[in-house]
Structure 1
Amino acid sequence: MSETKTFVPYPEVPDAQGNFGDYGGSIIPPQLKAVMDEISQAYEEIRRDPAFIEELQTLYTHFVGRPSPIFHARNLSEHLGGAEIFLKREDLNHTGAHKINHCLGEALLAKKLGKRKLIAETGAGQHGVALATAAALMGLECDIYMGEVDIAKEHPNVVRMKILGARVIPATHGRKTLKEAVDAAFEAYLKDTDSQMYAIGSVVGPHPFPMMVRDFQSVVGREARGQMMEMTGRLPDALVACVGGGSNAIGLFTAFLNDPGVAMYGVEPAGRSYERGEHAATLTLGKPGVIHGFKCYLLQDEQGQPEEVYSIASGLDYPGVGPEHSFLKDLGRVQYHAINDLEAVDAFFQLSRREGIIPALESSHALAYAAKLARELGRETSILVNLSGRGDKDVDFVVEHYGKKYITLD
């Protein structure tokens, strides 16, 4: 007779030092530690301030357009012949992705701290666009660091950032992608922590950012929980979201962590292969290490230095991952899998042609895994996918590199 596994409630994390079990923390120079303590104290005050909560909720409703809807992808579900697939439509938010959820919160916090400039990194450009949008709304200056490779690849978002008044500053070292953009932004931030606030773009970095970004993104899961109950009368059997740093996934997962009947899957980029430098499957192939001031699973060399990584999706090519995802992996509460470039591109076209929705390449990784999972689970089950962003930014790149296979171009 098989032994029944007892469900253990998810603990309240992080602790006062910003630790999610063995991960997280604040492994930074004393100069930066004082700054992070200031941000942490201010955040602890405003998160309980009814005026702040009301202002943020008003912006979510009247500026972002929340709640974002849930869409039943009937055509795709019928084609796959398995579980019913639902999409949490974060792509319909103002600026086209989930990133605006935490950028507005960070911009409001910067105003409270008396800062005049927001500084950040971006990969696919969605965080950069969202932060530039929030900065414009709040009357703040904005510097966005972006790898040269991503600047060329994500040209539409670069233009949007500039239209919004942000400076887009290229990161020109290493592979010239997301990790290098973070390096460059941190370096610039350390030169002036008095007038600037670093607005980290995911659930990564030193405490309090993994907690703070998670809290702002948790609106996704809170909405989804009620919406699925209203639409179907029950919670979904499975949640699926892509994971680079992991903000959209944590945003969806948080509201369901104490529901033992809801399985959760984070989807990483397997890239071109599992050879070094050809993927960014951090939780799949990494081991614990330190990057950018915190401990997490990390793709690293023999000296413990971050390895070069790659993904077709610029928002996923990071060698680390959020500390809470590392904790959830060790607990076994979330399963993490990897999808390669070709599978993601195929999912990109599948959703476009079967549902009339062009997804971001980041979200396409989640869609590709959800398609596999749907066939395994069968018809009486449901899967909720966080469609974290729209694919406008990726259209030119996809057509240039994959158009011959999928499109007849006149």
Structure 2
Amino acid sequence: MIDVKPNPRMLQYDGTYGEYGGSYVPPVLEPQLKKLAEFFDDQAAKEEFNKEFIYILKNYVGRPSALYYAKNLSDYVGSKIYLKREDLNHTGSHKINNCIGQILLAKKMGATEIIAETGAGQHGVATATAAAIFGIPCKIFMGEIDVERQALNVRRMRLLGAEVIATNLGSRTLKDAVDAALGYYIENPNSFYLLGSHVGPHPYPKMVGYFQSVIGQEARQQILEFEGRLPDSIFAAVGGGSNAIGLFSSFLEDESVEIHGAEGGGDGTYPNTAATLSFGKTTIFQGTKSYCLVDEEGNPIPSKSIAAGLDYPGISPQHAQMKDSQRAKYYPVTDAEAVEAFKLLSKLEGITTAIESAHAVALAIKVLKDKNQLAIVNVSGRGDKDVEREM
């Protein structure tokens, strides 16, 4: 029997990951974030809070998610590949794990309004869903371009009762949705900002990492049950970094397990890319110190990826630390490679994954070809939202 539980080791972090992380915010937000950090630490240490979190994950979200042996894909690649099926969760992605955790915090803190950002729309849908369960109004900020290319998820959010606010700032994608949400939060600090990825000021990376660690906890138990040993390698797509850290977190101390992250490579050249760890530099961006895509003056530049959920110039501070320590390897995967993997997985396994997750599949195919290895690939979301786009 697979236990559904977060990884308590993710609570050890104090807001920094090596030289990265921290909280760089306007003074008006400092008391609110300090209060949130203390409240989270208090609640995460309580059995009662964790029991409620796990109860909802099991009985509403549908955890544990399956670990599926993809035989046809394995035969094609020449390695034994298991898919961690986060696409089977209620709302269709890993995002719901974190949303349930943060909405429980918000409810216990007496929040009367939830705000969130979204790119691919999956975090927006998950936030709207969680807000509906607990009866809290929510506002979802989204770049105008993403509103257009993720129209299905926009309709879902509105159906769930959320107010979707399109922003025309900057490149009108995920970075700008975060900027708009942060701007609203600064003006309305009593709102609860439900940040969706493993980025931003402390305590957000710590909280998101903890709530998403259920992915890795389950995957570890499942692969041991099926194969009697740990995998040789694990793969996940990396935009901000939440689904990836969710899987990676339970294997960090297993040096025999290679860790691979697939970034949105765009057309494969700089600056037409979202591969922050491959092409970025260290800077302060949106409340934290990490890698970021920047120009010659050190200013953030727009990222470019076919995947809205990877189309972000920043990155998780923990992934930055993992890159520098060489515990994980990160690679740009081009739009064309992701599209090919999107189509291939549909034809071979009958699984239409999100275009974000297709980046991880593409990387796994490349790295594992004829290697006869045992691997896990995190399928972070389903691809309904991407089917109608021209590919």
Question: CA separation of 1:275/1:331 partners in 2, compared to 1, >3 Å: closer, same or farther?
Answer: closer
Residue 179 (structure 1) aligned with residue 175 (structure 2): yes
Residue 368 (structure 1) aligned with residue 368 (structure 2): no
Question: C-alpha root-mean-square deviation of aligned residues, in Å?
Answer: 1.1
What amino acid sits opposite 1:69 in the alignment? A
How far apart are the structure 2 equivalents of 1:366 and 1:177?
A: 21
Which residue pairs with 1:164 in the alignment? Answer: 160
Which residue pairs with 1:406 in the alignment? Answer: none
SS of equivalent residue, structure 1 residue 169: strand
Based on CA coordinates, which of the two structures has the bigger radius of gyration?
A: 1
Which residue pairs with 2:20 in the alignment? Answer: 23
What amino acid sits opposite 2:210 in the alignment? D
Which residue pairs with 1:68 in the alignment? Answer: 65
Residue 85 (structure 1) aligned with residue 81 (structure 2): yes
Which residue pairs with 2:4 in the alignment? Answer: none
Give the conservation status (yes or no) of the 8 Å contact 1:98–1:248. yes
Question: 1:203 is matched with which residue: 198, 202, 218?
Answer: 198
SS of equivalent residue, structure 2 residue 198: coil
How far apart are the structure 2 equivalents of 1:66 and 1:138?
A: 20
Which residue pairs with 2:233 in the alignment? Answer: 238
How far apart are the structure 2 equivalents of 1:334 and 1:13?
A: 20
What amino acid sits opposite 2:174 in the alignment? L
Please state how far the C-alpha of 1:60 moved relative to its aligned partner: 0.5
Give the conservation status (yes or no) of the 8 Å contact 2:66–2:84. yes
Question: CA separation of 1:151/1:179 partners in 2, compared to 1, >3 Å: closer, same or farther?
Answer: same
Please state how far the C-alpha of 1:141 moved relative to its aligned partner: 0.7
Which residue pairs with 1:7 in the alignment? Answer: none
What amino acid sits opposite 1:251 in the alignment? G
Summarize deviations over 1:160-191 as a string: whole Å, max 9, x none.
00000000000112110000000001111111
How far apart are the structure 2 equivalents of 1:216 and 1:12?
A: 9
Summarize deviations over 1:15-68 as a string: whole Å, max 9, x none.
53x111110000111111111001001101110111111111100000000000
Give the conservation status (yes or no) of the 8 Å contact 2:282–2:292. yes
Please state how far the C-alpha of 1:14 moved relative to its aligned partner: 6.2
Give TM-score, length-normalised by structure 1.
Answer: 0.92
Query: After TM superposition, which residue ranges in structure 1, 4 or more long, deviate above 6 angstroms?
Result: 11-14
Summarize deviations over 1:216-261 as a string: whole Å, max 9, x none.
0000000000000111111110000000000000000010111111
How far apart are the structure 2 equivalents of 1:125 and 1:113?
A: 26
SS of equivalent residue, structure 2 residue 250: helix
Please state how far the C-alpha of 1:274 moved relative to its aligned partner: 1.2
Summarize deviations over 1:94-152 as a string: whole Å, max 9, x none.
00000000000110101111111110100000000000000000111110000110001
Which residue pairs with 2:304 in the alignment? Answer: 310
1:218-229 aligned within 5 A: 218-229=213-224
What amino acid sits opposite 2:54 in the alignment? Q
Summarize deviations over 1:247-301 as a string: whole Å, max 9, x none.
000000010111111000011011023132x111100011101111100011111
Which residue pairs with 1:388 in the alignment? Answer: 380
How far apart are the structure 1 equivalents of 2:149 and 2:136?
A: 27
How far apart are the structure 2 equivalents of 1:15 and 1:280?
A: 27
How far apart are the structure 1 equivalents of 2:110 and 2:280?
A: 39
Please state how far the C-alpha of 1:302 moved relative to its aligned partner: 2.2
SS of equivalent residue, structure 1 residue 348: helix
How far apart are the structure 1 equivalents of 2:30 and 2:232?
A: 41
How far apart are the structure 2 equivalents of 1:27 and 1:275?
A: 27
Question: CA separation of 1:62/1:13 partners in 2, compared to 1, >3 Å: closer, same or farther?
Answer: closer
Which residue pairs with 1:8 in the alignment? Answer: none
Q: Which runs of 5+ in 1 are unaligned?
A: 1-10, 403-410
Give the conservation status (yes or no) of the 8 Å contact 2:10–2:249. no
For this pair of structures, how many residues does the alignment match? 383
How far apart are the structure 2 equivalents of 1:321 and 1:309?
A: 12
What amino acid sits opposite 1:101 in the alignment? N
What amino acid sits opposite 2:76 in the alignment? H
1:9-48 aligned within 5 A: 15-16=13-14, 18-48=15-45
How far apart are the structure 2 equivalents of 1:157 and 1:12?
A: 30
Give the conservation status (yes or no) of the 8 Å contact 1:85–1:374. no
Question: CA separation of 1:12/1:59 partners in 2, compared to 1, >3 Å: closer, same or farther?
Answer: closer
Which residue pairs with 1:133 in the alignment? Answer: 129
Question: 1:280 is matched with which residue: 274, 285, 292?
Answer: 274
Give the conservation status (yes or no) of the 8 Å contact 1:13–1:19. no
Give the conservation status (yes or no) of the 8 Å contact 1:271–1:340. yes
Which residue pairs with 2:187 in the alignment? Answer: 191
Give the conservation status (yes or no) of the 8 Å contact 2:264–2:334. yes
How far apart are the structure 1 equivalents of 2:307 and 2:264?
A: 8
SS of equivalent residue, structure 1 residue 336: strand
Which residue pairs with 1:339 in the alignment? Answer: 333
Identity across aligned pairs (percent)? 50
Give TM-score, length-normalised by structure 2.
Answer: 0.96
How far apart are the structure 1 equivalents of 2:239 and 2:159?
A: 27
Please state how far the C-alpha of 1:303 moved relative to its aligned partner: 2.4
Please state how far the C-alpha of 1:12 moved relative to its aligned partner: 7.5
How far apart are the structure 1 equivalents of 2:209 and 2:230?
A: 21
Q: Which runs of 5+ in 2 are unaligned?
A: 1-8
Give the conservation status (yes or no) of the 8 Å contact 1:26–1:206. yes
